[in-house]
Chain A
C-alpha cells in the first residue's frame, strides 16, 4: 500500500508534557512524522500542532483516533481543505555568481532575509511542493546551509 501524505492540525491543551505525549505516541506506535510545528493559540489555553505524516489509509485512521484518545487533545482537524505554508532559509556564499538569482527569488516570492560579509540568507514561504522545487533550483548557487520550518496549516 502506498503511503499517503496527510496534514493534521491538532489542537491540544497547552500544558506540560503535551508535546512529548504526541511525539511519544508517534514513536511508540511506529508512525511517521515528516514535520511537526507547535505554537500557542493566542488568548486561549490551547496550542496548535501541525503534523505532516504519511501512511496507509488504515494507519492514518489509527493516527487520528490515537491522537483523539490522548486526554489533552481538544480537536484533530484532518480535512483536506488547508492553506499550508512552509518557510525555508537558504545561505549562499557571496563568492557565488548570483546571475539569475533575482528572477528566481521573484518567481518564488522570496526575499533576502539577511546578509553578512561572507554570505546572504534567502527566505521563501510557500507550500511544501514549491519549497521543494525552489530548493532544487537554488542548488546551482551552492548553498552552505538550508533550514526548513516544517508546514503550518490553517483549515479553510
Chain B
C-alpha cells in the first residue's frame, strides 16, 4: 500500500487500536493533522498546552494499562511536552508521543521552530526515533508501541520531519515484531524462585514491599493471593496504592517519608524483605545505611538495572512480576505456613494501635484529611483518584480507601505539579462511567489551569477538589520544620477567585468552608455533568505527618510536630 507519511501515522494508530489521541497542532505537524481531520478511527482531543496533552495520555495509560498517544509540533510544542515525557518515564508509563520536526533539509540550520528534539528527549524516554525516510515509518511505529508497552513500560518519542510526513512510500504494518537487540525477560529463573521461597520459609519476620511494578504488570490479584497464602504483611509504595486493597487485613499501609508508623517499623524490623516491583526510591528508604538493615532482600523486577541499583540484593529475580508470582504461588502453598508469622503480624498490629495514621479533626475549620476521608466514605471504589503534587497528594495517599489497582493516578517519581487535571481528563475519557476526582492544591491547580477549557469543550466531567491552604503547603511545611519558619515564596494568599475562574471557562465552581457545604458541593458536582472545581478552604498550617525527614531513618519518624 502506497501512503504518505501522515497517512501511515493514522493507519498505524488504527492497527494499534488507539481510540483517543491528545495533542496540539502546529506548522511541522500540520500534514498529520490534515489526516486526523479526514479520519474517524480515533478521537482527537485538543488540549490547551502540550504538557497537558502528554499528561492526559499518561492518565489514560495509567487508568487502562493501554499505551497513551499524543501529538505535538516541533520546537516549543515539543519542549512543552518534555515535562510530560519525564513524568511518564519516571513512573514507567507506556506512551507514544509523535512530534513534528522541520523538513530534513532544514535540520541543523536553526530553522523556525527547530530544536534537536531527540537530543532533548533522550534521557527522559525509554527510546526515541528521528524518522529520516517514510519507508521506515511502519517499522518504527510498530517498534514504538512494542517498546512502550513491553518490558518495563515507558514513553517512546517519534520525531517526524515535515517532508517525511508528506513523502509517499510503501506501507505494510508488521503484524509480528522481533527486534535484534531488545528482548525483555518475562519468566523468572526457576532456581532463583526456588531459593526465594526457601528464604521465605526460613524467615521469621518477612514483609512484602510492593511497588509500582505490581500495577504495570497487572499482578495485583497474584500478589494478594501470594500474601494470603503466606500470611505475610505488606507495605505499599505511593505508586502501588490499590494493589492490596485497603480493606485487606495484611496491608499495613504506605511506607516511606509519609508512610504509616507500622509500615516503616515492619521494614526496619523485618528479617526478610520481598520486594515486588519497587525501586528503592530515596523517599521510601530514608537513610540507606539504616534501611531494613536486618533484612535479607528478594527483589523481583523486570528491569535488571533496577536490581541492586540502590541496595545490594540477596535474591535477585529478573522477570515480569505477574509471571514470577504465579510461579511462586504453588511453591508457597507447599512450603510456607502462614501461622508461623502470626507473632510478627500481632506485633505489627500493636504498632498500628500505638501509632495509627491520625489527624486532629476540628469543628471550626475543615481539615484536609477530613475532606479526603469524606470523599472516600461517599464515593469509595466508585471514584478514580488523581492528584497533583504536594501535601494534598500525601494526604490522599494516606487517607483515601483504595480498593483496586489503577484507582490511584499520581506523579510519583518526578513529582510534577500540574499533572492532576490533565491526567484526570485522560482517565475520565478512558473510563466515562467512573467518577474521576482530582485532589489538588491551590499551587498545583494553576500549573495547568488552561485545561479547564479542554474539559469544558469535550464535556470531560472531572471534579477538582482544591485543598486550599493558601500556601505552597509542602514547601511551607519544610520551612516550618527545617527553616525556622522563614516562609520564602510560599505564601499563595494572593490567588484567583477559583469559583469565578472555573465558571468563566464554562464549568461549575463551589466554595466550601464547612463540612455541610462540602457534602452539598460534592453532590452538586456529581450531578452537574461538567468539569467542576470545589475550592475547599482548609486549615492553613496543617502538616503531613508522620514524617521521616529527608535522610532520616524509617524507625525514627517524626510522629507529631511541636512548636
Contacts and interface: CB of A to CB of B under 8 A. Distances in A.
A73 B181 contact: yes
Contacts of A68: 304-305
A40 interface: no
A117 interface: no
Given A58-B308, A62-B305, A20 B132 contact: no
A21 interface: yes
Contacts of A21: 122
B123 A71 contact: no
B429 interface: no
A71 B305 contact: no
B329 to A, nearest CB: 28
A52 to B, nearest CB: 21
B37 interface: no
B132 A61 contact: no
A80 interface: no
Interface residues of A, number: 20
Contact of B122 (A13, A20, A65): A20
B119 A20 contact: yes
Given A20-B122, A71-B147, A65 B304 contact: yes
Interface string A20-59: 1100100010000000000000000100000000000010
Contacts of B132: 16
A110 interface: no
A124 B176 CA distance: 51
Contacts of A62: 305, 308-309
B122 A69 contact: no
B130 A69 contact: no
A71 B122 contact: no
A66 interface: yes
Interface string B309-334: 10010000000000000000000000
B168 interface: no
A71 B181 contact: yes
Contacts, number: 41
Contact of B182 (A17, A28, A58, A71): A71
B179 to A, nearest CB: 8
Interface centre among B179, B181, B303 (most CB of A within 10 A): B181
A28 B120 CA distance: 12
Give the interface size class of chain B: 10 to 19
Nearest to B303: A69
A57 B424 CA distance: 43
Contacts of A134: none
Interface in A56-83: 58, 61-62, 65-66, 68-69, 71-74
Contacts of B181: 12-13, 71-74
A21 B121 CA distance: 11
Contacts of B126: 71
Contact of A17 (B130, B147, B309, B312): B130
Contacts of A24: 122-123
A53 to B, nearest CB: 16
Interface string A72-104: 111000000000000000000000000000000
B148 to A, nearest CB: 11
A131 B182 CA distance: 38
Nearest to A72: B181
Interface string A129-140: 000000000000
A74 B305 contact: no
Nearest to B124: A28
A28 B118 CA distance: 15
Contacts of A13: 180-181
Contacts of B515: none
A74 B123 contact: no
B180 A17 contact: no
A71 B309 CA distance: 19
B146 to A, nearest CB: 10
Contacts of B122: 17, 20-21, 24
A12 B122 CA distance: 16
A71 B179 CA distance: 9
A72 B122 CA distance: 13
A24 B119 CA distance: 9
A77 to B, nearest CB: 14
Contacts of B127: 71
A58 B126 CA distance: 23
Nearest to B119: A20
B118 A17 contact: yes
Interface in B111-137: 118-119, 122-123, 126-127, 130, 132
B346 to A, nearest CB: 38
Contacts of B123: 24, 28
Contacts of B118: 17
A61 B303 contact: no
Interface of B: 118-119, 122-123, 126-127, 130, 132, 147, 179-182, 303-305, 308-309, 312
9 contacts: A13-B180, A13-B181, A17-B118, A24-B123, A28-B123, A62-B308, A68-B305, A69-B303, A72-B181
Please give me the 5 A-B residue pairs with the lowest Cβ-Cβ distance, nearest first.
A65-B305, A71-B127, A74-B181, A28-B123, A71-B182
